Amino acid sequence: MNRNCFIKNYIVVFPLLFSLLTFSQTKLINASTNEIAVDKIEQSKIIESLKQKIKSLPDNKEKLQLLFSMCDTFGRAFPPDTLYYYANLAKAISIKEKVDTSILKCNIFLASSFLRRGLLDSSEKIIDENVAAYKDPKYTVYRNNFLMLKSNILVRQNKLKESLKNSFEVLTSAEDLVDTSTQMKALLAIGWAYMELNQSRQSIDWLLKGCNLDVLSHQKYSLAVIYNDIAAVYNDLHKNDSSVFYVTLAINIAKQKKDLTALANAYNIYAGTEIDNKNNAHAEALLKDGLEIRKIIGDPFFIVSDMYELSVFYANNHAPEKGIALANEGISIAEKNNLRAKLPILYEALAENYKNAGNMAKYSNVLNKIISLKDSLYEKNKAEALSEMETKYDVQKKENIIIKQKLDLTKKNSLIYGTLILLAITVLVSYIIFQTRKKNQQLKMQEIVIDQKRKTMDAVMQAEENERKRIAAELHDSVAQKMVVAKLNLEVLEGYLPILNQEQRHVYNNIFSLVDDSCTEVRALSHSMMPQAFFQSGLTDAVKNFIDKIENKNLRISFSAEGDLSNLDNNMEIMIYRIIQECLQNIIKHADASKVDISINMENDEIDVTIEDNGVGFDTSLLETKDGMGMKNIKSRVEFLNGNVDINSEIGNGTVIAFFVPLNKK
């Protein structure tokens, strides 16, 4: 049963399941904190009984098995301090019994308890020590579990690219070991990271893979968690029916398993759909119950997340005093537990509440604090790097399959094909030598043609830039100066003219205005053809100067540059500037965009430039047949710099133009 088949089956049964779930939805969802307290009391009785049984058991191995059963069964419902206590108790027995795998399992629980308390450094220390100490392949399953906790830490630290890389590597390893439970954790972590990156399609795709694997393996390992994440993505997309369907499934499973973490997540997600549906009273109740459950569990990372959600709710529902108090409480908890990645959103909630309360002075101060925080927390997660990781994982997976197939074929057919290969080598050697010589000659001819083409293009580009410089200089030094002199003469002439009537004064003012506007336009044209910023401080300032002169109130342009761009070759600077200039002119003329992001990054001996807009987009399949002069100019300049250009666009979804240029042009 492949993923597509699984999704088709979901589509068929979705209406029936949704109607059944909706019928009992109120019963499933209207859990109060009193009900949670009752569950905790019942759970405490079970745990107390198990504690007494542990004390009564004379055999350490039986105690250890019972402790592991408690941690596995109630681990997600335990407060982190309780999990820490039982994990330490189990570790003491494991050390006494000298069982490596048991010690590893205890360390996984200990690292998890630190993670849930927000003590990321302590958790990461345990993880790194165990990953380094147990490199033997027989411990791979345990090492993978440590690495999945590492992915969780990286997401909390807002290091999303590193988290994805780590999760893809674990997924590949778990597939080789046919370790379904770890595969589930990796798929869930990948879906979570993409959700944090607001890449909804990729997130849904990976989470559905997790659902499919869970159904095929009959494990029901973490369906409540997966359903919650899928519901959250659909909620962000405002597909509320789909969100309610999955969150109802999650609530049902979380209640059955007494999984308080999953239940709290579900309440918060469901509150989002209720807010969209204007059911604010129910939404507030869900958010409050979710927060109370978080406090019972004691994980500060999710406590402050829920405080942010409830604070934003109060800001949007005319209760800013409650929102301000809640946001400040969340900020205090985040700072105390070193959850710096959560501070920007908490301050955003605080700012929104101050704004709605009419306290503009504090609103302004908080906005400045947000800018400072985001600058310090900014992590670059380029789409190209994320795509590269997915591709690397897919390629590695296919290569592993091919390698296994080849090994099987080799074992079965080595005797038969061995002799044939030896004979074939003798026949092919002479043919290969001939083909090699022929290919070398062809390559030499291609190199000559390419070199000649490059020289021709170099000459054309250089001539074009020289002509631009000449025209710019002529405009600046001759035409502009003459226009300025004409303007000055008009000003002098005004003093010699007799008193003019109103009509004559109007004509004179029009002439003066036309001359003044012409001076400005000639100067702007001169600077556009050869920006003075190049002669002052190079490419970065030239681009900034060009952007500053774009007069379009409906277009917001952001620009960033990283790396040392001060020592670039002058021709390379000019070419890159022309490409960016051409792209912006195309966006202004055709894209109808409201936002453009431009980034220049120099690393690994190359310059990467990305121009992305949110405009109307276009069909890229038409580029081969209907290239305009703008696109041709862009491609020819990138080719001149021995670089590559990639143009991605969809109608209605904007356009991304990315190109890279090697620093050492050959």
CA dist., res. 265 & res. 287, Å (int) = 10
The DSSP code sequence of 613-627 is E-S----GGGHHHH-
Contact (CB, 8 A) for 640 and 461: yes
Contact (CB, 8 A) for 633 and 460: no
CA dist., res. 627 & res. 63, Å (int) = 74
Residue 281 exposure: Cα atoms within 13 Å on the Cβ side? 0
Could you report the per-residue pLDDT of 3-28, keeping only the tens digit for each?
A: 333 333 333 333 333 333 333 343 44
Diameter of the chain by CA atoms?
120
Do you know the residue count of the chain? 666
Contact (CB, 8 A) for 79 and 299: no
pLDDT at 556: 92
Instruction: Tell which wins on pLDDT, 573 or 454.
Output: 573
Average pLDDT across the chain, whole number:
77
Write down the H helix ranges in 57-159. 60-74, 80-97, 100-116, 120-133, 140-156
SS3 assignment, position 566: coil
Check the CA dihedral 96-100-105-111 and report its sign: positive
CA dist., res. 305 & res. 330, Å (int) = 8
Tell me the pLDDT band of 362, cut-offs 50, 70 and 90: confident
Cα-only R_g, the chain: 33
Of 91-105, 257-271, 370-384, 471-485, the one with minimum mean pLDDT is 370-384
Interval 559-579 mean pLDDT: 84
Interval 246-257 mean pLDDT: 81
Give, in order, the Cα–Cα distances in Å from 12 to each of 248, 294, 534, 601. 18, 36, 63, 48
Cα 664 from chain centroid (whole Å): 31
Given a cut of 70, whether residue 406 has pLDDT beyond it is no
pLDDT at 17: 36
Given a cut of 80, whether residue 387 has pLDDT beyond it is no
Interval 313-338 mean pLDDT: 89
SS3 assignment, position 655: strand
pLDDT at 22: 37
Given a cut of 80, whether residue 170 has pLDDT beyond it is yes
Give, in order, the Cα–Cα distances in Å from 469 to each of 21, 461, 525, 526, 527. 72, 12, 12, 9, 10
Tell me the pLDDT band of 38, cut-offs 50, 70 and 90: very low
Two tokens, residue 665:
């042009």
Of 290-299, 585-594, 621-630, the one with minimum mean pLDDT is 621-630
pLDDT at 11: 34
Tracing tokens 């007799």 back to the chain, one arrives at 498
Of 168-177, 406-415, 557-566, the one with minimum mean pLDDT is 406-415
Beta strand pairing call for 595-603 and 556-562: parallel
Tracing tokens 């300032």 back to the chain, one arrives at 541
Residues whose CB is less than 8 angstroms from the CB of residue 117 and which lie 6 or more positions away in sequence, other chains included = 80, 81, 298, 299, 300, 337
Give, in order, the Cα–Cα distances in Å from 617 to each of 68, 244, 590. 56, 33, 9
CA dist., res. 170 & res. 163, Å (int) = 11
CA dist., res. 249 & res. 228, Å (int) = 9
Select from 169, 133, 127 the least CA-distant residue to 150: 127
pLDDT at 609: 93
Given a cut of 90, whether residue 414 has pLDDT beyond it is no
CA dist., res. 391 & res. 389, Å (int) = 5
Could you report the per-residue pLDDT of 89-130, keeping only the tens digit for each?
A: 888 888 888 888 888 888 888 888 888 777 888 889 999 999
Select from 586, 585, 632, 575 the least CA-distant residue to 609: 575
Percentage above 90 pLDDT, the chain:
7
Which residues, listed in sequence order, are joined to residue 557 by a DSSP beta bridge?
Answer: 596
Which residues, listed in sequence order, are joined to residue 608 by a DSSP beta bridge?
Answer: 601, 660
Given a cut of 80, whether residue 660 has pLDDT beyond it is yes
Interval 458-486 mean pLDDT: 67
Of 332-336, 483-487, 551-555, 561-565, the one with minimum mean pLDDT is 483-487
Given a cut of 80, whether residue 242 has pLDDT beyond it is yes
Interval 205-224 mean pLDDT: 70
pLDDT at 102: 86
pLDDT at 442: 81
CA dist., res. 106 & res. 90, Å (int) = 6
State the pTM of this model: 0.44
pLDDT at 380: 41
Given a cut of 60, whether residue 2 has pLDDT beyond it is no
Cβ-in-10-Å burial (0-12, 13-18, 19+) of 127 comes to buried
Long-range contacts of 370-379 (CB under 8 A, 24+ apart): 370/344, 373/340, 373/343, 373/344, 373/347, 374/344, 376/340, 377/158, 377/340, 377/341, 377/343, 377/344, 379/158, 379/159, 379/160, 379/161
pLDDT at 8: 35
SS3 assignment, position 81: helix
Instruction: Tell which wins on pLDDT, 386 or 497.
Output: 497
pLDDT at 29: 43
Two tokens, residue 490:
């008009």
Tracing tokens 């996984």 back to the chain, one arrives at 108
CA dist., res. 114 & res. 338, Å (int) = 13
Given a cut of 60, whether residue 273 has pLDDT beyond it is yes
